[in-house]
Amino acid sequence: MKVATWNVNSLSARWPRVESWLIDQHPDVVLIQETKQTDVKFPFAQLEALGYESAHYGQGQWNGVAILSRIGLSDVERGFGDADAEARIIGATTAGVRVYSCYVPNGRAIDNPHYQYKLEWLSKLHQLVERRDRARHIVVGGDFNVAPTDLDCYDPSVFVGATHVSEAERDALRALERSGLVDLTRALNPGEPCYSWWDYRNGSFRRGWGLRIDLLFVDRDLLDKASSSYVDRDARKGEKPSDHAPVVGEFTI
DNA sequence: ATGTCACAGTCCCTGTGA
């Protein structure tokens, strides 16, 4: 079972890249973030032609998350079931595994109200993880907008006092780990940066100025069944790329 | 810090978000 998470930064703008990537890489399950589409525009039919069932939680101009699967899709869950109007989390069951596609709020700046929204959002995610059905495998993947440690940041000195690296954000990820989840890419690639995002500006990709903020959290039993996890940097190259690369996990179930 | 990209509306430029 091959699972990927990818922030596509507009599925409308990225469709040619997404379609060719699905054909080339044949993932079984794809967790997508930032579709920036309403459900009306979502390419359900094109994905079905490629063999994928899809579930979308669309908003329009901003946000928007989706799950694609070629191995079944049921019990779709949109949002946390609260008053939050932003489309940032969708869950579904595929091949007996509960999967979530998450687009964690950016936070903007430590002194910005959006940063508090980010921490509250991560707290709600933690509650969801705590409430999970522990008889099932779980994958909580997405754009977390947090670099878990300094290894996940190309130059920590640039980010002093910034979002994405603060202790409160990192502790929110550690809370997921205390609930029994494991950061798959880090577990299988200790000591390697594995950046997944590079700013469009400054030639950041060419210079290697990246962050590892796109993560796949899995339960410990699923880690035991994992064979590899990697970043597909090739998807960040070429014509009209997203600023994020897909992060892949492979399992023998 | 900022050598970019995508969106919507003010609509071929500008403000906003990332």
Q: pLDDT tens for residues A88-136? A: 999 999 999 999 999 999 999 999 999 999 999 999 999 999 999 999 9
User: Quick check: A131 and A170 in contact, CB under 8 A?
Assistant: no
Spatial CB neighbours of A45, under 8 Å, sequence gap ≥ 6: none
Question: Which one-letter amino acid corresponds to residue A249?
Answer: G
- What average pLDDT does the segment A78-89 reach? 96
Which pLDDT score, from 0 to 100, does residue A33 have? 98
Q: How far apart are CA A109 and CA A130, in angstroms?
A: 28
What's phi and psi for A250, nearest 5 deg?
-120, 135
Q: Which nucleotides of B are covered by protein (CB under 7 A)?
A: 1-8, 17-18
Q: What is the DSSP letter of A42?
A: S
Question: How many residues are present in chain A?
Answer: 253
Tens-digit pLDDT profile for residues A136-183: 999 999 999 999 999 999 999 999 999 999 999 999 999 999 999 999
User: Which window residues (66-95, chain A) lie with Cβ within 7 Å of strand B?
Assistant: none
Looking at the DSSP bridge assignments, the partners of residue A78 are A90
Asked if strand B comes closer than 7 Å to A208 Cβ, the answer is no
Asked if strand B comes closer than 7 Å to A201 Cβ, the answer is yes
Q: How far apart are CA A186 and CA A54, in angstroms?
A: 28
Closest nt to A11 (CA→C1')?
Answer: B6
User: Quick check: A130 and A181 in contact, CB under 8 A?
Assistant: no
Residue the block writes with tokens 């079984």:
A28
Asked if strand B comes closer than 7 Å to A62 Cβ, the answer is yes
Closest nt to A103 (CA→C1')?
Answer: B18
Which pLDDT score, from 0 to 100, does residue A141 have? 98
Measure A225 CA to B15 C1' (Å): 48
Closest nt to A62 (CA→C1')?
Answer: B7
Asked if strand B comes closer than 7 Å to A109 Cβ, the answer is no
Closest nt to A240 (CA→C1')?
Answer: B5
pLDDT band at A39 (very low <50, low <70, confident <90, very high): very high
User: Quick check: A122 and A179 in contact, CB under 8 A?
Assistant: no
Q: Which fold has domain A2-251?
A: Deoxyribonuclease I; Chain A (3.60.10)
Asked if strand B comes closer than 7 Å to A164 Cβ, the answer is no
pLDDT band at A222 (very low <50, low <70, confident <90, very high): very high
Asked if strand B comes closer than 7 Å to A9 Cβ, the answer is yes
Which pLDDT score, from 0 to 100, does residue A247 have? 98
Measure A243 CA to B12 C1' (Å): 25
Question: Which one-letter amino acid corresponds to residue A159?
Answer: F
What's phi and psi for A87, nearest 5 deg?
-85, 90
Asked if strand B comes closer than 7 Å to A35 Cβ, the answer is no
User: H or E segment at A29?
Assistant: strand A29-33
Q: How far apart are CA A100 and CA A206, in angstroms?
A: 31
Q: How far apart are CA A194 and CA A212, in angstroms?
A: 6
Closest nt to A199 (CA→C1')?
Answer: B4
Which pLDDT score, from 0 to 100, does residue A36 have? 97
Q: DSSP 3-state assignment of A18? A: helix
Concatenating the DSSP letter of every residue in A95-115 gives: TTEEEEEEE------TTSHHH
Q: DSSP 3-state assignment of A233? A: helix
Which pLDDT score, from 0 to 100, does residue A21 have? 98
Spatial CB neighbours of A120, under 8 Å, sequence gap ≥ 6: none
Asked if strand B comes closer than 7 Å to A110 Cβ, the answer is no
For the record, the structure tokens of A147 come out as 């670099």
Closest nt to A162 (CA→C1')?
Answer: B1
